[in-house]
Amino acid sequence: MFKKYILQVIIFILLIAIAWVLLLLRQPLPQKDNLATLNPVQPKPVQSGGDAIEQNLRPEYYPIRNWLVDEPEISAKSAIMVAFNNDEKEMVLYQKNSYQQLPIASLTKIMTAVIALENLNPEDVIRVSKNSVMIDGDKGGLIIDENLSVKDLLYIMLIESSNDAANALANDNQKISFEEFVSLMNKKAKDLGLNNVHFEDPTGLSEKNQSTVRDLTKIIKYSLNFPLLAEIIKTPQATISSSDKKFVHNLINTNKLLGKIPVVLGGKTGFTQEAGGCMFALSNINNHYLVTVILGSQSREEDTEKLINWAQNGWLWK
């Protein structure tokens, strides 16, 4: 009789446990106090034509943590992974020293692209100066006095991480001076409510170009409202010609995760001796967009890949 009673108790407890698990799996979208408030200033709605971001992504709920899968060990000094949609809500899936201000190397070029798109006409032609060609780094292969459109310089800058192209956009255009361009970069950061960002130049060569991964996430999200920029960061290869067709630039994206990891849509890399490896990757998992940002990494691609793989297994997606 006693054994029968014990068996009934065990069955009752198991039924309660099963009901609790089912309830968790059906839990609704987390309330606002459980979501990261990453956008104090919201950018404009995403424009149609931006292939990387679509307007109709409104999943019913955010992912649920699978505690059977441990967080990955990464070498980066700082990192963050944020899931977001167009419903003005975001969720931090992973963070490591996310409030630490660090050099950002060529991730600077995301803001450089934003300022160029907001202040220059993409079809405007820029003559590349000797000063730009002599900037440290030879990626992009720009030629002194060749003419390239703003749009083409953006492709060269973002795909090959060309310092020459970044400097040409800021220094060689006919509308605003180099100093005004950098000032606009810092002003845009302030306009977005970012207090831990500073830009010294448009290339990222200066170690004074600094940010937190949290603030970089906001800059990246804002930048994705520009269809051209969203298109460029997901382009694995491109061929760009000078305006007179005399010079041809064959571009290969520095983002080695493009084409390697199916969920990766695009991103941007960076590296200096002071900053170490830096990277951001835009991914799509079950109609949720994820921005992953790492700074100060010994192996930027490996760290980013670890986080993306963990996001797919360490969280339960509908």
Q: Which of 294, 232, 306 is nearest to 51 (CA)?
A: 232
Do the bridges between strand 210-211 and strand 102-103 make them parallel or antiparallel, or are there none, so unpaired?
antiparallel
Q: Which residue out of 98, 132, 161, 223 is catalytically annotated?
A: 161
* Annotated catalytic residue 106: yes
> Are residues 156 and 183 in contact, defined by beta-carbon separation less than 8 angstroms?
no
Q: Which of 169, 126, 119, 167 is nearest to 146 (CA)?
A: 126
| Cα–Cα dist 268/234, whole Å | 9
Any bridge partners for residue 315, and if so which?
Answer: 65
Q: Which of 146, 145, 116, 134 is nearest to 229 (CA)?
A: 116
* Annotated catalytic residue 190: no
> Are residues 170 and 138 in contact, defined by beta-carbon separation less than 8 angstroms?
no
* Annotated catalytic residue 109: yes
Question: Which tokens is 171 given?
Answer: 């220094």
Interhelix angle for 163-171 vs 108-119, to 10°? 40
Gyration radius of the chain's alpha carbons: 23
Q: How many CB atoms lie within 10 A of CB 1?
A: 5
Q: Which residue out of 106, 149, 223, 242 is catalytically annotated?
A: 106
Do the bridges between strand 264-272 and strand 276-285 make them parallel or antiparallel, or are there none, so unpaired?
antiparallel
Q: Which residue out of 89, 109, 256, 306 is catalytically annotated?
A: 109
Do the bridges between strand 276-285 and strand 288-297 make them parallel or antiparallel, or are there none, so unpaired?
antiparallel
Which parts of 161-226 fold into alpha helices (H)?
A: 163-171, 178-191, 213-223
Catalytic residues: 106, 109, 161
